[in-house]
Amino acid sequence: MIEAYKINKKDDISNFKIFENRINITVLITSISQREITIETAYYYSDICTEVVLVDEEEPCISEVEIKNLSNKGIKYIPYSDGSDLSLTSTYDKRLIAANHASNKYLVHSNHDERYTYKGLKACIEELENDEKLTFCVGQCIAVRKNKLGIHYTRSYENLYEYLNMNEVDDRLYYHAQKYAPIGHYGVWRRDEYINASKKTVSIHNKVPSTTMMEEVIFELAADLMGNSKAVPELFWIRNRINPPSGNSLDKGQHIFSTIKSKLLILFIDLDVDIEIIFNNFRNSHFAFIKPSFSSKFLLFIKRAARIFIKKKQVNDIYTLLNNSEIKYEENDLSNVLKSMKSHIK
């Protein structure tokens, strides 16, 4: 089990305020497999948010009784059967379907085995409420991992530290490519703008089908077209880096370069955007799908060689990682999140 979590601070959270006032946000959950874990995640969000929409691709569909049980907890269940091995378009199609069923002003998409914190979601909504020019907002992220020494934690997406993208549209694109993080995929959004970004993404992937994770990049840059974004200092997202990913292709190679360019040309057809600046910024940030420059390759070689001689200390205590990273969090909130993940992080 997960003794390494060390949840021993204020362990009794039965009277904690997160159970008194749920957040007015819709959480979108989509899945291909691992239905039991997916439903556990949906129940977690139903305790802290007013609406959850679950789009499930796994077959056979769950029973009417199970659907009713989900509905009683504020979870809308939608079966999905249009997935295709020829393209990852269905990934975004499912999210779009879920968003169109959302009834709240704000929404966020969650992976089926990961968690957002109560405080992080609240902090993002407060930012959106306070700034009408802000389109989506995210917080800080950590990952739960496991090796032969046991459970440990790492800082994810350090570029989210003081991330602030409040410029004109072309500058927003360049900034995002330079400080790349999947802020669009996992941010709290205004509902209509999320739907518009998803529609653009689905349309492009239908025109240029592929079996690569380039789907991520297109949505991220489509998100920048919708408006401004930022990251708050609160702990927002806990990634599950123990369970293996399910379903999606991780195709790589030189052809990925041309795939990106073809899709971005469609995305930017009505804009005066220099794609080469975006590519150069991706290279400088060592983005995985862009062929690195010679200098980037050399720097990566030096870093890898250094790791052979300098072994980074493994962080087994989550509080140590959060405090060292200057990430804001609330102990009871964090305890609730980690308890909810115990069954599928072993």
Q: Residue 236: inside a domain, yes or no?
A: yes
Q: Residue 225: inside a domain, yes or no?
A: yes
Q: Which residues pair with 27 in a beta bridge?
A: 52, 108
Least confident of 1-5, 228-232, 254-258, 309-313: 1-5
pLDDT on residue 245: 56
- Residue 94: name the closest of 82, 106, 76, 86 by CA: 82
pLDDT on residue 97: 94
Cα angle for residues 6, 7, 10 (degrees, 5° grid) = 140
Identify which has the larger pLDDT, 306 or 81: 81
pLDDT on residue 295: 54
Three-state SS string over the chain comes to CCHHHCCCCCCCCCCCHHHCCCEEEEEEEEECCCHHHHHHHHHHHHHHEEEEEEEECCCCCCCHHHHHHHHHCCEEEEECCCCCCCCCHHHHHHHHHHHHCCCCCEEEEECCCCEECHHHHHHHHHHHHHCCCEEEEEEEEEEEEEECCEEEEEEECHHHCCCEECCCHHHHHHHHHHCCCCCCCCCEEEHHHHHHHHHHHHHHHHHCCCCECHHHHHHHHHHHHHCEEEEEEEEEEEEECCCCCCCCCCECCCHHHHHHHHHHHHHCCCCCCCHHHHHHHHHHCCCCCCCCCHHHHHHHHHHHHHHHHCCCCCECCHHHHHHHCCCECCHHHHHHHHHHHHHHCC
Residue 145 has pLDDT above 80, yes or no: yes
What range defines the domain where residue 208 resides?
116-344
**Per this entry, what is the length of the chain?**
346
pLDDT on residue 290: 61
Q: Residue 107: inside a domain, yes or no?
A: no
Write out pLDDT tens, residues 255-311: 777 888 899 999 999 999 999 999 999 888 766 666 555 555 555 555 555 544 545
Burial (0-12, 13-18, 19+ Cβ within 10 Å), 327? buried
pLDDT on residue 10: 39
- The rounded distance, in Å, linking the Cα atoms of 210 and 151 is 35
In 10 A of CB 11, how many CB atoms?
Answer: 10
Distances (CA, A) of 230 to 38, 110, 150, 201: 28, 18, 34, 21
pLDDT on residue 11: 40
pLDDT on residue 331: 95
Q: Residue 52: inside a domain, yes or no?
A: no
Identify which has the larger pLDDT, 250 or 52: 52
Q: Residue 40: inside a domain, yes or no?
A: no
* % residues pLDDT > 90 (the chain): 64
pLDDT on residue 125: 98
Write out pLDDT tens, residues 194-226: 999 999 999 998 898 887 766 789 999 999 999
Least confident of 64-73, 119-128, 230-239, 284-293: 284-293
pLDDT confidence bin for 3, thresholds 50/70/90: very low
Least confident of 43-47, 89-93, 297-301: 297-301
**Residue range 92-111: average pLDDT?**
96
Domain count, the chain: 1
Q: What is the mean pLDDT of the chain?
A: 85
Name the pTM for this structure.
0.87
pLDDT on residue 324: 94
Residue 6 has pLDDT above 50, yes or no: no
pLDDT on residue 216: 87
Q: Residue 297: inside a domain, yes or no?
A: yes
pLDDT on residue 283: 82
pLDDT on residue 346: 67
Identify which has the larger pLDDT, 109 or 243: 109
Q: Residue 306: inside a domain, yes or no?
A: yes
pLDDT on residue 9: 36
Q: Residue 78: inside a domain, yes or no?
A: no
